[in-house]
Amino acid sequence: MLYQLQRGERISQPRLRHRFQEDKIGLARTVHQLREFEGKYRFIFELNEAAAEQNILAAAYSISQFAYKDRPAVVNLMLKAVKWRGEVGTDFISYLLSRHDKFVADLGHESSESWALQVLGISSRNPDDEEVKTVSKASPLYSP
């Protein structure tokens, strides 16, 4: 559904689980804001009885408010956001901005540097030029 919204296609009804699902959720008015105060970000959630599905649908439908050229980045950010399992706060923002040490640790690495070395297939912490050249050419990321 996110990709359809990204392309600007009309979505006739929300589809959460399967096509014969009876719509018990619907959309309710809810307002969420991200505000900056003295260099720190703060979430402001309207207190209401909205279900999690309502919030997700509202976020998905908000994609249409972005210019077409910006929609792929917004969709990618939303896909990343739905993987978050912690509290919504500064750690969440750091995670979305790819600055979250906890997730590097969860992947079995002490730092983003050790993660990158593994992705690139480099075994040494301080590889010599020859190892970097050899591994780089074998890497799926290599593009001559």
Same domain (yes/no): 93, 116: no
Q: Quick check: 15 pLDDT over 60? A: no
Is residue 18 located within the same domain as residue 80? yes
Question: 65 or 114: whose pLDDT is higher?
Answer: 65
The single residue listed with the structure tokens 């992705």 is 119
> In the prediction, which pLDDT does 68 show?
83
State the burial class of residue 122 (Cβ atoms within 10 Å of its Cβ: 0-12, 13-18, 19+). Answer: middle
Same structural domain, 12 and 78: yes
Can you give the residue range of the structural domain that contains 67? 2-99
The number of domains in the chain is: 2
Q: What is the pLDDT of residue 124?
A: 73
Q: Are residues 88 and 107 in the same domain?
A: no
* 71 and 137 fall within a common domain: no
